[in-house]
Amino acid sequence: MFVKVLQSLIFGLFQGCLYGIMGFGLSLIFSTVGVMNFAHGNSGMIGVFVGWTVLFLTKNIFLAFLAAIISATILAIFIDKALMKRVKGLSHSAMLIITLGLLLIFEGLAVIIWGTQPLIFPEIFGFSPKIVFLPQSLNKSNIPLIIPGNDLAVFGTIMALLLLLIVFFKYSKPGLAVQARSEDEIGARVIGINTQATDTLSWIFGIATAVFAGLLIAPKTTVNPNMLTNLQFYGFTAAVFGGFSSIVGAMAGGLILGVIEKLVILGLDELFLLLHITSINAVDLQLSIVLLCIIVTLIVKPTGLFGNKYKGKV
């Protein structure tokens, strides 16, 4: 049992870091610009397609990442300057509608340009899985612990990135400006922060991280128009956990969500086994678990797991 729990924990963290990075982007954009970006996953998807295309043409993975991130930046600036700034005076719901529209437009665009056939993205790291046998005292039934090398590398990469992002937003001047602007727009402007710049920066960081996450999972999911749809939903849940105004909270929320999900599945598996239920597969309940997490959080602690009104932001 210990090994199974440990295994779920590991898979949970590997999965959760992806939720965390999606949640990070969503809450960054939400807390700065004040809009829920429904096109988050699809913006990321477009960037991944660009990356795939460059990889296809040049066979150079570094260039592919570079092109994907640049396309994310261009997309972010376009969304911010060409769309959001124009309707900002209207209302937040206008901005919301725009992101919903973009969700559909990006999907259509991807279908038109690249088609619906899933495209293969090669392994980025190419590590083989490690199989570990824990000592007998901990591992009575002698089941191996599996650590997929690629997933571990993705986990390490994302955790390093998240750490860099935290340092950037907590200590660098532009990072502090974004944080100040997310706390109080007028307050930020009176101390001389260029809030147009902070908004653009938030869109860029938000969408670039979504593209980055998309590239990292592309070898697993293939590149297709819906590759980030579910992950956006998980990211949203992570952001709800984090209280939406806290980027650190969203990251932590993602990891916790991943672990909860895998542990609940493990528990249900064991329960179904015990009750001889074979008609349901616990894995199929994944999305229901996530939904339940959102609802429970919103009821019990609407400010997120870590937030009270003031503490725990960013």
Partner 1 sequence: MVLETSFFSVSYGRIEALKDANIHIDEHEAIAVIGANGAGKSSLLFGLSGIVESKGLIRYKGNDISSLPSHERVKLGLTLCPENRRIFPSLTTEQNLKLGAFRSKFKKSQLEFVYELFPVLYERKKQIAGYLSGGEQQMLAIGRAMMANPVLLMLDEPSLGLAPILVDQVFKALEDLKKTGLSVLLVEQNAYKALSFADRAYILETGKVILEGNAKQLLSNDRVRSAYLGI
292 CB-side CA count, 13 A: 8
Candidate list 21, 75, 252, 313; residue touching partner 1; CB under 8 A:
313
What is the residue whose two structure tokens read 């960081």? 205
Residues 132/69, Cβ–Cβ less than 8 Å? no
Give the interface segment with partner 1, choosing from 15-23, 36-44, 128-136, 184-192 (CB under 8 A): 184-192
Considering the rule CB under 8 A, would residue 131 count as an interface residue with partner 1? no
Candidate list 129, 144, 187, 302; residue touching partner 1; CB under 8 A:
187
Q: CA-CA distance, 169 to 185, in Å (whole number)?
A: 17
- Closest contact distance (angstroms) between CB of 30 and partner 1 is 15
- The size of the chain, in residues, is 314
Give the interface segment with partner 1, choosing from 37-45, 78-86, 118-126, 306-314 (CB under 8 A): 306-314
- Closest contact distance (angstroms) between CB of 179 and partner 1 is 8
- Closest contact distance (angstroms) between CB of 90 and partner 1 is 12
Size of the site for partner 1 (CB under 8 A): 21
Considering the rule CB under 8 A, would residue 289 count as an interface residue with partner 1? no
> Taking CB under 8 A as the criterion, which residues in 153-182 touch partner 1?
173, 176-177, 179-180
- Closest contact distance (angstroms) between CB of 241 and partner 1 is 17
Give the interface segment with partner 1, choosing from 120-128, 129-137, 232-240, 304-312 (CB under 8 A): 304-312
With respect to partner 1, which residue has the nearer C-beta, 173 or 276?
173
Candidate list 137, 192, 274, 278; residue touching partner 1; CB under 8 A:
192
With respect to partner 1, which residue has the nearer C-beta, 102 or 314?
314
Considering the rule CB under 8 A, would residue 77 count as an interface residue with partner 1? no
Considering the rule CB under 8 A, would residue 86 count as an interface residue with partner 1? no
Nearest by Cα to 313 from 186, 201, 183:
183
* Four-residue CA torsion sign, 251, 255, 256, 260: positive
With respect to partner 1, which residue has the nearer C-beta, 82 or 186?
186
Angstrom CA distances, 256 to 12, 20, 154, 308, stand at 8, 9, 17, 18
Considering the rule CB under 8 A, would residue 251 count as an interface residue with partner 1? no
Candidate list 112, 191, 274, 275; residue touching partner 1; CB under 8 A:
191
Give the interface segment with partner 1, choosing from 60-68, 98-106, 130-138, 189-197 (CB under 8 A): 189-197
Binding site for partner 1 (CB under 8 A): 173, 176-177, 179-180, 183-184, 186-187, 189-194, 309-314
